[in-house]
Amino acid sequence: MSMLYTISGISKQAYHQYLARQAAKEDRSSLYLQMVIEARLMHPVIGLEKIYHLYKPEGIGRDAFIHIATLAGYALEKPPMVSWKGSRVIPYQNLLSGKYFTAVNQIWVTDITYFKLGDSYYYISMIMDLYSRRIIACSLADSLHASHSLALLRKALKDRPLPRDHQLIHHSDKGVQYTSLAYTALLKKHRIGISMCNSVFENTAMERLNGIIKNDYLIHWYPKSYQQLKSLLKKAVRNYNLCPHGELQMNSPKEFEEKIKQIPKEQRKKMKVFTLKNKKGTDPNQLVLFEKNYLNFLT
């Protein structure tokens, strides 16, 4: 070994220091991979970048962390998931066009999606604050009856009381649950603006959220019954609200809401919601056909 040290031009001490560094590096790599494993228990298909921001591990940068986890086989590929409800004439227009938003309780978005258990279908409803991406209410039902959506709205208003001078807009698709007299009457009672989509593209945040809750959480926990699905839905929503979000500079929705309280409104990032405008002279059927072709391409 002395001859090898001489030939290579290194000392015995330097060689053993190198071995010690490699052993320490391997120990740290194991620690980082354990973070990935633990994060995936809470968020089954959370991305590696979000895991890095969730744990903020010392002694390693984001790219190096992602590289180690990728080499270990923890990278993910997620297909886009979209649901489609069709189009029809709606009684309320989209109120979000041309506006900027800088605070919570300015836009609540909502939607309904399904989850299949055996031969039965159950329906997941959620209301999300669009500025903070925080889910503020969720429910599971065995039917699409409008009473379930009405109960969810009441829960959101109870859990998240609005100030007297609020300017909240409630944005949804054109489902009959949201156009029902009881539902719109409750919105009007609380002086909440009623906004509805002219296109599937005008509620993409909720479409995306539906996919995350179903395909990033619930299907990986294999619920076997209605009660189990109901319990796991609450867990999924809780975990989502604590998970880093790309639109929030890798803060979780809960963290983001706390941080923006310290930032004056004029200094906050302005959010503009995408809306489609059907220009004068354009055939409305052409827009519907484009949407359907686009969704068929994604699925």
Q: 187-219 pLDDT, tens per residue? A: 999 999 999 988 778 899 999 999 999 999 999
**Nearest 5°: CA angle at 253, between 209 and 200?**
25
Strands 169-172, 107-117: pairing kind = parallel
Rounded distance between C-alpha atoms, residue 169 and residue 147, angstroms: 21
Structure tokens at 280: 């004068």
Give CA angle at 241 (239, 243), nearest 5°: 65
Please state the separation of Cα 104 from the chain's center in Å: 16
What was the pLDDT predicted at 198? Answer: 81
SS3 122: strand
What's the pLDDT score for residue 215? 94
CA nearest to 132, candidates 10, 257, 7: 257
Q: Please write the tens of the pLDDT for every residue from 250-282.
A: 999 999 999 999 999 899 999 998 887 643 444
Contact 224, 117 (CB under 8 A): yes
**What H or E segment, with its residue span, contains residue 290?**
helix 284-298
| Side chain identity, residue 220 | H
How remote is the C-alpha of 282 from its chain's centroid?
33
- Overall pTM surpassing 0.85 (yes/no): no
Minimal CA–CA distance to 150: which of 113, 192, 190, 185? 185
The torsion of the CA quartet 139, 145, 149, 150, rounded to 10 degrees, works out to -130
Report pLDDT for 14.
52
Divide the 299 residues of the chain into consecutive groups of 10 and give the mean pLDDT of each group.
56 50 58 85 86 86 85 68 46 88 96 92 96 97 92 96 94 91 95 90 91 95 96 97 94 96 92 70 47 43
pLDDT confidence of residue 30: 80
**What are the structure tokens assigned to 15, written together?**
């060689």
Q: How many CA atoms lie within 13 A of 52 on its CB side?
A: 20
Question: Is 205 within 8 Å of 130 (Cβ atoms)?
Answer: yes
Q: What is the pLDDT of residue 2?
A: 61
Of 54, 48, 55, the closest CA to residue 76 belongs to 48
